[in-house]
Amino acid sequence: MDCIFCKIVNGDIPSYTIYEDDIVKVFLDIEPMSPGHTLIIPKKHYNNLEDIDMDTLNHINKIAKEIYTLLKEKLNIDGMSIVQNNGCVQDVLHYHMHIKPYYNENKGMSVEEVFNILKNE
């Protein structure tokens, strides 16, 4: 399979992973729309919303809530969007959820800076 997200899950491609468990991997987007733009992907390959099971989907939503709290506490975000694309608007054919933080003022942080802030426990 030539899926970039499966390669990230398998460790073939490095990622700025901020959370991981048996079901999901959560990492920073390397081309973020804003500092802290995060992707949540299931470790098992699902193409899109049509074929993902409800248990995995519910777990992803639970983790999204936890990531929101993390971003709010560590990056002082002022808002957040959750986006999940399907069909012709889906860039990678592996189910994934975008967590896109918003700020009242431009933070201008690099992915590395955000990663270091989030991983600094």
Task: Enumerate the active-site residues.
Answer: 96
> Among 1, 54, 62, 56, which Cα is nearest to 23's?
56
One-letter identity of residue 33? M
SS3 content of the chain, % helix, strand, coil (to 5): 35, 20, 45
